[in-house]
């Protein structure tokens, strides 16, 4: 234990098990050693401890790092309450009493906070890199489906036709916002708490600028109370993971629908599908379903930590030990879900002609007809009413727009002429779009080229 001198009895074994965080904070063993090496170097540089002791400690920590990497040493959860005490105990075994000088001027409070910030910064970079690769995969599929027409929906009712490429590009926009969020969090995490002590700094002449620079932080934290108790950057990270998972969950829902027999639009690769233990014909989109299901857990992690923090007075409280499991779980779940989604999209087969027949003369082209009337000088509200009446007229006869004749259209308004009939041509529907950001194939190509250049 790191605090045994004040106590005459050892911690109850059940209490040790209840309070131990070793099973999960071992995840940032590398960051803990990294922070300890920087601290030891600073202690030697400032003369707080002899340079020789600083070097001995650093060598010992590097050896422990190698042991952890090679899995030749694994701390015992029945002996240690966290990774910090385990590493320090191992350091004692390697270099003797000099190990006791490592914790000079340092508390586990600023030590843990430093570890967490180092870990979050690295994982933000990992996620940004993977999101970049996911975008590339989506771009490849989009480029191959610029002219693949699918129904666009509002209220899950057919609204207007779009291209599958345009639909995929919408998710690329979402992924870009996800990248921006993690970039911001990386910056918000970029200050070093090391040297803040338990809550009030130190009477020792610690060089906080040295350790901050040594660990790659922009600067040291400005307030010791805030430094050891701040978990806003973790909440931000959990929130970004939650939003990212929501994006993946929405897409998963669509993949599940698109791959159904009723839709017959996408065919998932066998590599990302499962079967049934009973029904031999089944091919299930389980990976998409799991992503959709795991989203709830990631959302819950944010609620869990925000609930923990909301009632805590300054500065550090042991409740904050509950920050790590949600953090590690959300990262692993989101990162793995992104990787699985990349695999699904990269191996999917698209039935490109699936909706051509369905959308030929479909009522989703009604807005185009209303716009045609507007260009003939009819106020939009009146045009809306005229086309709505035509739709009702055809629906009552179980017909669609491709069945209507020019003579019938003229009964609703004499302004209709032959050029109006092109409004009901699904093959030209997307090219009629005039606005930037629309599914006009020319605009979609421009947007794909924009993203391709951005990915380079």
Q: Is 277 a catalytic residue?
A: no
Integer-rounded Cα Rg, in Å, for the chain is 30
Cis peptide before 315 (omega within 30 of 0): yes
Task: Please give the Cα distance from 328 to 87 (Å, whole number).
Answer: 20
- Among residues 8, 155, 277, 405, which one is catalytic? 155
Residue (of 237, 240, 239, 192) closest to 216 by Cα position: 192
221 neighbors 310 (Cβ within 8 angstroms): no
Which two three-digit tokens encode residue 326? 């949600």
Cis peptide before 40 (omega within 30 of 0): no
143 neighbors 135 (Cβ within 8 angstroms): no
Which two three-digit tokens encode residue 403? 């069945």
- Among residues 19, 23, 269, 276, which one is catalytic? 276
Task: Please give the Cα distance from 74 to 430 (Å, whole number).
Answer: 61
Q: What is the CB-side half-sphere exposure of residue 425 using CA atoms within 13 A?
A: 9
Three-state SS for 26? helix
Dihedral sign from CA coordinates of 429, 432, 437, 443: positive
331 neighbors 122 (Cβ within 8 angstroms): no
437 — phi, psi (to 5°)? 90, 0
Q: Is 306 a catalytic residue?
A: no
Enumerate the active-site residues. 155, 276
């Amino acid at each position: 234990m790191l605090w045994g001198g004040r106590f005459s009895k050892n911690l109850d074994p059940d209490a040790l098990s209840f309070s131990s965080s070793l099973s999960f904070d071992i995840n940032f063993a590398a960051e803990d050693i990294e922070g300890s090496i920087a601290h030891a170097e600073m202690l030697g540089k400032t003369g707080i401890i002899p340079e020789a002791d600083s070097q001995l400690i650093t060598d010992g920590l590097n050896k422990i790092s190698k042991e952890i990497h090679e899995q030749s040493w694994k701390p015992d959860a029945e002996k240690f309450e966290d990774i910090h005490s385990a590493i320090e105990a191992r350091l004692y075994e390697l270099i003797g009493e000099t190990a006791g000088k490592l914790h000079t001027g340092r508390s586990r409070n600023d030590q843990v906070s430093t570890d967490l910030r180092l870990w979050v910064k690295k994982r933000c970079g990992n996620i940004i890199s993977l999101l970049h690769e996911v975008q590339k995969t989506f771009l490849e599929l989009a480029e191959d489906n610029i002219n693949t027409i699918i129904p666009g929906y509002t209220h899950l009712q057919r609204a207007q036709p779009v291209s599958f490429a345009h639909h995929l590009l919408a998710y690329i926009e979402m992924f870009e916002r996800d990248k921006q969020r993690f970039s911001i969090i990386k910056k918000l995490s970029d200050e070093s708490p090391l040297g803040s002590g338990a809550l009030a700094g130190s009477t020792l002449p610690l060089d906080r600028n040295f350790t901050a620079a040594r660990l790659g932080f922009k600067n040291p934290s400005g307030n010791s109370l805030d430094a050891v108790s701040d978990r806003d950057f973790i909440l931000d990270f959990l929130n970004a993971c939650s939003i990212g998972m929501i994006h993946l969950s929405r897409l998963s829902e669509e993949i599940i629908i698109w791959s159904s027999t009723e839709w017959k639009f996408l065919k998932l690769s066998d590599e990302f599908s499962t079967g049934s233990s009973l029904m031999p014909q089944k091919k299930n989109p389980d990976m998409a379903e799991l992503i959709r299901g795991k989203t709830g857990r990631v959302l819950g992690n944010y609620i869990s930590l925000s609930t923990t923090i909301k009632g805590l007075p300054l500065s550090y409280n042991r409740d904050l030990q509950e920050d790590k499991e949600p953090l590690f779980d959300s990262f692993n779940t989101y990162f793995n879900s992104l990787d699985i989604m990349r695999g699904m999209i990269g191996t999917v087969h698209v039935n490109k002609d699936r909706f051509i027949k369905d959308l030929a003369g479909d009522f989703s082209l009604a807005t185009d007809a209303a716009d045609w009337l507007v260009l003939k000088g009819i106020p939009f509200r009146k045009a809306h009413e005229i086309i709505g009446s035509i739709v009702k007229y055809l629906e009552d006869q179980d017909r669609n727009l491709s069945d209507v004749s020019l003579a019938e259209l003229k009964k609703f308004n004499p302004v209709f002429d032959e050029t109006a009939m092109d409004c009901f041509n699904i093959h030209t529907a997307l090219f009629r779009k005039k606005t930037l950001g629309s599914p006009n194939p020319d605009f979609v190509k421009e947007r794909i080229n924009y993203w391709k250049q951005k990915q380079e």
